[in-house]
Amino acid sequence: MNDKINYIPPLVSCNNLESFVSSHKTIGKSGLDLGGYIRVSTKKEAQITSIENQKKVLKEWANINGYNLLKFYTDIKSGSFSYLRNEMQLLKEDVKSGIIKGVVAKEISRTSRDIMDVLELKRTLESHGAFFISLKENYDSRTDDDEFLLIIYAALAQKERKTTAGRVKITQMLKAREGKTNVPSPAFGYKLSPDKQYLVIDEEKAKIYRFIVEKFLEGWGQLKICKWLNQQGIPPKRAKCWHTNTIKSILMNPVYLGITIYNATTLIRDSSGKQKRVVRPKEEWIVRHNTHPPLITPEEYNQITDIIENRKKKFCREWTKEKKYLLSGILYCSVCKGKLYGGRQTTPDKSKVFYYYVDQNRYGLCNTKTKYWNMEKVDNAVLAEIKKFFEDKNLIKKIIKEKYMLRNKNISEKHIKQLKTNLHSINTAIKKQQEAYEKDVISIEEYGIRMKQLRKEKKEVTSKINIIKEINESGFKLDKKLEFITEKVLSTLENLEKADYHVKKFILKKLVRSVEISKDYTVKIHFTFEL
């Protein structure tokens, strides 16, 4: 036997498995490149000073223990939801790339105050052969294989966060009940009072707010207001420019009535561990009136909400009309290959509505900036071309039969397997009912009702299995379902222009992949099948 042969088990040779790198091998090694993780909750002066103090402590520890502290990762974020921290994500990428071999922090709560986050960090580092060290707890992940110590430390940090959050929540609830504000950044048009306890009017921004309200009541739309504000160089509260959603949120905000609403929402974690905002029950909301000067009257506010609601209903009604854009998503210009979009235009007296398709020439290949086609004429041209293509009834029957046979072959095999599984479950249930009756666990009435139901289910499943087997054995030539489908399709295609919108849309979806149209309404149809 040759000992030099390199034997590899099939579990390794036949699978694309990653190589395991153990962090234990780094114990006792000096000169390893580490990353120092630092986190503070806010940008307050005391917190910023804490950043420099943490850096000094980590540098001193690295020098004493023979490590090379390559770089610092500093986040200014709260203690939970570490996936929201940019520097934490950068740290993980550097570990994955092998830039650093481990992470050191002053204490575990600096990385996170959530058990799942702390475990996820440790396991991410470990999967890349890296390790985690916390100075306060004297914790080293290389010596904690069962993660028992880490869970204890992380649980204490999480409990501390909950306790602190609870105290803050109580303070905020008391302030809200007294009509004071809890927001660090007030709504547009307001600012904080000198003691930061109440909202007061910001005169300059209040003028802009009143402009928005008045113009909206005069008939301006949200988009028109946005454009005007952006053209004037008036900055919004946060973003670089105004958006329609910003205008809507300002118009619908009850804070401008002098009302403060607190405790309406809360943050939870969803099943994937991500942060999610949800609405609390209304009985938990804290609503206080006359907590600050209003910028709008109740009459104006009600008028605005009515206008927005009516416009919303009008938009919904438009899309419930029979007329829709039949070729939306599949119609393209034959020259520039750009997608065409449906549109509608009303005459000034609103007596007539015109529908059209438009090519916005986004690629600049056509000789005009935009091109328009009459929608009805385009739709009729495409439907006529489809009817012309399918004048050969034998061709239609051939296509339907091939699709039908292929579909039924795949479905029948899978369906029979599922039906047999169901049949086995029913037979098992019947046996259990018989045993339960014989042992006097159930009464004769209960036994009779349940057995009647099970026998009915068994008959239905057995019948379905026999029908599928019969079809498979006799072929599809005599299958009445196939004949019915074929005749239905032929009839629909012959009267395609008379069909309602939904039937036309269904036919197009099944038959057509895309349509190209030229300026003279010549159409080229690309079908979903090959002949």
Task: Give dist(CA 61, CA 81) in Å, integer.
Answer: 28
Q: What percent of the chain has pLDDT over 90?
A: 19
Overall average pLDDT of the 377-404 stretch? 78
Indicate whether 300 and 335 sit together in one domain.
no
State the DSSP code for 36: E
Domain presence at residue 217: yes
Q: Which residue has the higher pLDDT, 464 or 441?
A: 464
Residues 6+ apart with CB under 8 A from 400: 482, 485, 486, 489
Q: Are residues 335 and 282 in the same domain?
A: no
Going by pLDDT thresholds of 50, 70 and 90, the confidence category of residue 319 is very low
Judge contact between 81 and 275, C-beta under 8 A. Answer: yes
Both 223 and 270 in a single domain? yes
Q: Is residue 435 part of a domain?
A: no
Whether residue 236 lies inside any domain: the answer is yes
Say yes or no: 115 and 201 in one domain: no
> How many Cβ atoms sit within 10 Å of the Cβ of residue 203?
9
pLDDT tens track for 172-189: 777 777 778 887 788 899
Mean pLDDT of the chain: 81
Nearest to 382 by CA among 488, 492, 502, 507: 507
- Considering the domain boundaries, does residue 224 fall inside one? yes
User: 28 with 152, same domain?
Assistant: yes
Looking up tokens 């939870």 gives 268
Range of the domain at 109: 23-162
pLDDT tens for each residue of 59-117: 999 999 999 999 999 988 765 566 667 888 899 999 998 999 999 999 988 888 888 88
**Predicted pLDDT of residue 273:** 63
- Indicate if 150 and 46 belong to the same structural domain: yes
Domain count, the chain: 3
Q: Which residue has the higher pLDDT, 522 or 364?
A: 522
Q: What is the pLDDT of residue 334?
A: 87
Shared-domain flag, residues 277 and 194: yes
Token pair listed for 411: 């479905």
Length of the chain, please? 531
Judge whether 495 lies within some domain.
no
In the block, tokens 């402590």 appear at 57
Q: What is the pTM of this model?
A: 0.45
Out of 142, 162, 182, a domain closes at 162
Q: Which residue has the higher pLDDT, 11 or 52?
A: 52
Contact indicator for 107, 113 with CB cutoff of 8 Å: no
Query: What distances in angstroms separate CA 123 from CA 120, 126, 173, one per listed residue?
Result: 5, 5, 38
What per-residue confidence (pLDDT) applies to 272? 61
Are residues 335 and 204 part of one domain?
no
Q: Enter the tokens of residue 61.
A: 């520890």
Residues 156 and 30 in one domain: yes
Tens of pLDDT, residues 246-285: 899 899 999 999 988 888 888 776 666 666 788 888 888 8
The rounded distance, in Å, linking the Cα atoms of 448 and 446 is 5
Domain assignment of residue 124, yes or no: yes
pLDDT average, residue stretch 398-410: 64
261 and 364 inside one domain? no
Instruction: Kindly indicate the confidence band of residue 322, based on its pLDDT and cuts at 50, 70 and 90.
Output: very low
Q: What is the pLDDT of residue 320?
A: 46
Would you say residue 117 lies in a domain? yes
CA–CA dist 185, 523 (Å, integer): 57
Average pLDDT value for residue range 492-497 = 76
Name the pLDDT band for 40 (thresholds 50, 70, 90): confident
- pLDDT score, position 478: 47
Task: Residue 227: give its domain's CATH number.
Answer: 3.90.1750.20
Task: Assess contact for 304 and 217: CB atoms under 8 A.
Answer: yes
Average pLDDT score over residue span 126-135: 91
**336 and 303, same domain (yes or no):** no
